[in-house]
Amino acid sequence: MNAGFPAALGGSIPALLRSLFPFLRWTRPTAHTARDDLLAGITVSLVAIPQSLAYAQLAGVPAYYGLYAAFIPSIIGVLFGSSALLATGPVAMTSLLTATSVAALRPAGLDQFYAYVTLLALLSGIFQLGFGLARAGMLISLISHPVLMGFINAAALVIALSQLPALMGIPLRQTEHLMLDTWNVVTRMDLLHEMSLAFGLVAMVLLVALKKFAPRLPGVLLTVVLLTWVSYLVGFAERGGRVVGAVPSGLPAFVVPDIGWEATKSLLPAAFVLAVISFMEAMSSCKVIAVKTRAPWNENQELIGQGLAKIAAAFCQSMPVSGSFSRSALNLASNARTGLSSVFAAGSVLLTLLFFTPYLYHLPRSVLAAMIILAVLNLIDVRALRQAWLASREDGLAGILTFVVTLAFAPNIQNGILIGVTISLGAFIYGRMRPRVAVVSLHRDGMLRDMTRHNLAPLHPQVGALRFDASLCFANASFFEDAVLKLQRETPDLKYILIAAQGINHLDASGVETLRNLSSRLRQSGVTLVIGGIKRQVFDVMERTGLVGDMHPANVFMTEQEAIDSVVSTVTPLEERAAEPHPRESNARTS
């Protein structure tokens, strides 16, 4: 990762400029690399242009909003982001979040709805820019993978279901309950527009067939061109079919978003969720690109780039954008060398805006719906939720609950991710408050292992050993104390309790006081508290706070084996020691 802006302040002027303008770090173009970038940019644009139209429909805005989003914001994103091959523009998840967030405040189709869309782009961009400048990229990790996968799986279904009216040509107004809307579509087949459904199904067949049998061809563009031409020939619009309609030609105008306090206050929660989710989409692409190209990337710089791209979208009458996983993968597969590939792709969008928008008039909306449905079906990954469940019941439950809640609240899907984050953080905190504690003894491999799980004999009738698999801190200190006292109660003949401390990475003030109080309390009962296998940083805390002296240095050991040998030799009479096997050998026989 690059050092970023703060580090550059103490360096040279060129270093400062490279930090402020990441594109100055791109490889100097040659004729060969420029040709590769040009071909890659054209290839990506052949997918980006029809996808932009589709995702504008998903966001509930006119088609040209999508084209504008694939033009200037994509250039800003690559110039100021850290990943030169990340393709920025309209994406499915961000478009859906945009539509659902704004629809809760204003009905789709109104000028006020469009104004709120651009305001949402501005606010989410400011959030991301602020996160990047504050070097807060690591905070994005608060959303666990199971929660994210639960959200994405549910959101993919929500997107697909939301496109059924457009696919079937059924003119139904969207309500606040997606499942009710879906039921209305299914039960109102009398409103079905057969030609719209036919165009949509043919589009699906063509997209699947071209991807399978001719993957090197621009299947999305070919499908759009072919079916737009057929729509014109058969008079699809005149027969009641819904088409894209007139798309303004020319460059986007510079427009200052209408910033009202009430609208801003209402959109802030949605803007925060959109900023986080859209960046996680971009981040997943950046990680793949970094692995493939072995090029470093910086999450804070990428937050700045994505934030500036959204802000640019707000000022050019567009919609929120994000890093596209599919187009970034295509960019990489097309042998793009630098960020110039995104600039060339934006140039292709510019040519479309200047010369080809009249040809988009007859593009059926059912074709765009088919494109969206097929695109989001690739996002569904039930296996990820199953793996989360197998890894941890808490993780699996968080992912499943996020999935269910997201569907239940649809189309207001941002509630799902907020509840999912709350559940996962709650499970995380609970897990840290009640970590795993095991009564252990020597295994035949020489390690202290769980007595119950491995059916081991005790170290000695008068010695109990406990392993604590977590940092000892304020959150779990009382739980640790209860576990030690429980061992004492259940084994009344104990003279020593050994704490196997290999799993303790951190010791705070609460942990120190707990150990000090336990040592004193057990000593009054005739039991000595011994700790072994201490890590250096934990021992340093014990020394600084005087805990080593309070427990007595003879009861504090840097290795577990030293602690075991000392304790066992103390409780075993000399005459018995010669006749008895070493605890290691004894357990080896019983294993």
The string of DSSP codes covering 299-363 is HHHHHHHHHHHHHHHHHTT----EEEHHHHHHHHHTT--STHHHHHHHHHHHHIIIIIGGGGTT-
- Spans of all domains in the chain: 25-424, 437-590
Which is nearest to 86 in space by CA: 298, 376, 351?
298
CA distance 149 to 383: 10
Which is nearest to 529 in space by CA: 469, 472, 587, 487?
487
pLDDT above 80 (res 327): yes
- Kindly report the pTM of this predicted structure: 0.78
The pLDDT tens digits for 287-310 are 888 888 888 888 999 999 999 999
Cβ–Cβ < 8 Å for 420, 401:
yes
**What is the DSSP-derived secondary structure letter of residue 447?**
S
Which is nearest to 317 in space by CA: 182, 116, 549?
116
Q: Looking at residue 291, what is its pLDDT?
A: 82
The pLDDT tens digits for 120-174 are 999 999 999 999 999 888 777 677 888 888 988 998 898 888 889 999 998 877 6
The pLDDT tens digits for 168-215 are 998 877 666 777 788 888 888 888 999 999 999 999 999 999 999 998
Strand 496-500, strand 463-468: pairing? parallel
pLDDT band for position 458 (cuts 50, 70, 90): confident
Answer yes or no: CATH 3.30.750.24 is held by domain 437-590.
Answer: yes
pLDDT above 70 (res 6): no
CA distance 127 to 109: 27
Residue 448 β-bridge partners: 442
The pLDDT tens digits for 161-172 are 888 999 999 887
**Residues found in the chain:** 591
**What is the DSSP-derived secondary structure letter of residue 117?**
H
For tokens 């199904």, the residue is: 201
Between 576 and 486, whose confidence is greater? 486
Q: Looking at residue 242, what is its pLDDT?
A: 93
Contacts 24+ apart (CB under 8 A), 217-221: 218/43, 218/46, 218/47, 220/46, 220/47, 220/50, 220/51, 220/371, 221/46, 221/47, 221/49, 221/50
Q: Could you tell me the two tokens for 145?
A: 């993978």
